[in-house]
Structure 1
Amino acid sequence: MSSTMGTGPVGEVEVGADAIEASRVNGTAVYNTEGDHLGHIYDVVIGKRDGRVKYAIMSFGGFLGIGEEYHPLPWEVLKYDERQGGYVVGITIDQLQSAPRYGADARPDWATSDYGRRVNDYYGVAY
């Protein structure tokens, strides 16, 4: 093990500035470039074959989990801002209102490429 990685007193891995455990990403705040708090990371979607993070699922709206909507954001559109302690995405609240999303009682069909393509097209990211 290198000197920059090790385990903490309860087995937590100390990671470098450019790596983080998925469990720590969940719950991280998401802001837009104007500084508005949009929501938080609810989950991440990982490619089965290449192991790369494809999307961050952002929870938006609602109160105490009621009425929340989930917005898949292509991982490439998120930039981590240490100053804010969260991710920043270049989208306004109005643009987010018409972005691809789903409710708590629905799940997107990740098995087809149509859904991912629609999300990526909305955010201007190559699929």
Structure 2
Amino acid sequence: MRRTSVRKYPDFLPADTIKGEKVVSIAGKNLGKIEELIIDLQAGRVAYAVLSFGEFSGMNGKFFAIPWQALQAKFQEHAFLLNIPKYTLEKAEGFDKDNWPVTTYEWLSTVYSYYGYQPYWQIPRL
């Protein structure tokens, strides 16, 4: 049977098409860009995105771990909308591009909690 409707936006994307995409605030202001996607190999899911943020606010370009659920694709703008207030991001504990944290579920749980998101491994899958 032939499919008569065509989806306007994809359900799946290669990671390298996401890396480098700009991240904007709810107000539409440029916050930075996605530097990397960190994959949870046991769960087979994106654990978090690494956001470079700060070149625009004098913070010397720190990196931040952002829960994947906090980002919404804006295909027409070739960007991701960050559903976290800028002031929350400005006060977050970031890391230097040359000194990444060791990812553990304990560390990641504090990151998710800080941004107000439930860790993905605690959400029942449908």
Aligned to 2:124: none
Q: Structure 2: state its 5+ residue gaps.
A: 1-8, 120-126
Q: Distance in 2 between matches of 1:36 and 1:20?
A: 24
Structure 2 counterpart of 1:125, from 117, 120, 123: 117
The answer to whether the aligner puts 1:115 opposite 2:107 as a matched pair is yes
Report matched runs for 1:25-36 at 5 Å.
25-36=18-29
Offset of 1:114 from its aligned partner? 2.4
Q: Distance in 2 between matches of 1:105 and 1:48?
A: 23
The two structures, once aligned, show a CA RMSD in angstroms of: 1.8
Report matched runs for 1:14-29 at 5 Å.
17-29=10-22
Q: TM-score, normalised by structure 2?
A: 0.78
Structure 1 counterpart of 2:72, from 72, 76, 79: 79
Aligned to 1:50: 43
Q: Which amino acid aligns with 2:47?
A: K
Q: Percent identity over the alignment?
A: 29
Q: Which amino acid aligns with 1:34?
A: A
Aligned to 1:6: none
Q: Distance in 1 between matches of 2:47 and 2:109?
A: 12
Offset of 1:60 from its aligned partner? 1.1
Q: Looking at secondary structure, tell me which structure has more helix per residue.
A: 2
Q: How many residues align?
A: 109
Q: Which runs of 4+ in 1 moved over 4 A?
A: none
Aligned to 2:90: 97
